[in-house]
């Protein structure tokens, strides 16, 4: 019984991902909320540091709506890890400098090489009115570079999502970044 339910859920999620990739609008519920996948690539450099990453949502005019995730070295003594957060320049200007870190449910440790998934929080989705939106993913590394990618989507008057740019490929600090339903 459990395996049948998991198979059905997997099939349903696959159908929503396919629909979002071909540009169909999909009504949003807790089971179809947008998810963000972020690939952190393996870099061949002499001194490697895990990237700090900020993920946030803005409207079409770049006005910040909500922070989704901020991954930085939260475990450093005397809050030293927050010292490099201003290197996430776009996020820092729009949100970071006014926050008291860490933020419950948003702040987290840096992630290793690999693909990491974030579900868009339902409380953020509930406040979205019809319109165009951007999910921003910004990465910065100590002794490394910076990169900022934007995934665009819209919400129609029935509350359905349409993903306009479902996948982008980073050039340096980020690998493949995907927004899916």
Both tokens of 161, joined, read: 């999502």
Dihedral of alpha carbons 57, 36, 24, 5, sign: negative
pLDDT at residue 12 in the model: 38
CA distance 137 to 179: 11
Q: How far apart are CA 54 and CA 160, in angstroms?
A: 26
At residue 1, the pLDDT reads: 46
104, with CB counted inside 10 A (0-12, 13-18, 19+), is exposed
Output the furthest CA–CA distance in the chain (Å, rounded).
51
Q: Per the omega criterion (within 30 degrees of 0), is the bond before 164 cis?
A: no
Range of the domain at 31: 2-180
pLDDT for 13 = 43
The model's pTM is: 0.81
Give the pair of three-digit tokens for residue 117.
């998934």
Q: How far is Cα 136 from Cα 141, in angstroms, rounded to an integer?
A: 17
Q: Give the SS3 label for residue 97.
A: helix
Copy the structure tokens of residue 123: 């409380």
pLDDT in 10s for each residue of the chain, 181 residues: 434 443 333 333 444 444 444 444 544 444 467 899 999 999 998 888 999 999 999 999 999 999 999 999 988 888 788 888 999 999 999 999 998 888 888 999 999 999 999 999 999 999 999 999 999 999 999 888 999 999 999 999 998 889 987 999 999 999 999 999 7
What's the number of domains the chain is made of?
Answer: 1
């Amino acid at each position: 019984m459990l395996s049948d339910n998991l198979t059905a859920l997997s099939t349903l999620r696959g159908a929503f991902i396919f629909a979002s990739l071909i540009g169909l609008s999909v009504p949003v519920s807790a089971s179809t909320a947008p998810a963000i996948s972020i690939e952190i690539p393996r870099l061949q450099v002499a001194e490697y540091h895990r990237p700090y990453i900020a993920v946030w949502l803005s409207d079409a005019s770049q006005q910040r709506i909500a922070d989704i995730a901020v991954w930085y070295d939260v475990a450093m003594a005397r809050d030293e890890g927050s010292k490099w957060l201003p290197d996430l320049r776009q996020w820092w200007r729009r949100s970071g400098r006014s926050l008291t870190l860490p933020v419950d449910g948003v702040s987290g440790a840096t992630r290793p090489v690999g693909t990491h998934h974030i579900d868009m929080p339902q409380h953020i989705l509930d406040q979205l009115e019809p319109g165009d939106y951007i999910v921003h993913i910004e990465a910065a590394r100590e002794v490394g570079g910076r990169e900022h990618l934007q995934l665009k989507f819209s919400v129609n008057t029935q509350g359905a999502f349409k993903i306009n740019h479902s996948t982008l490929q980073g050039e340096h600090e980020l690998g493949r970044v995907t927004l899916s339903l």
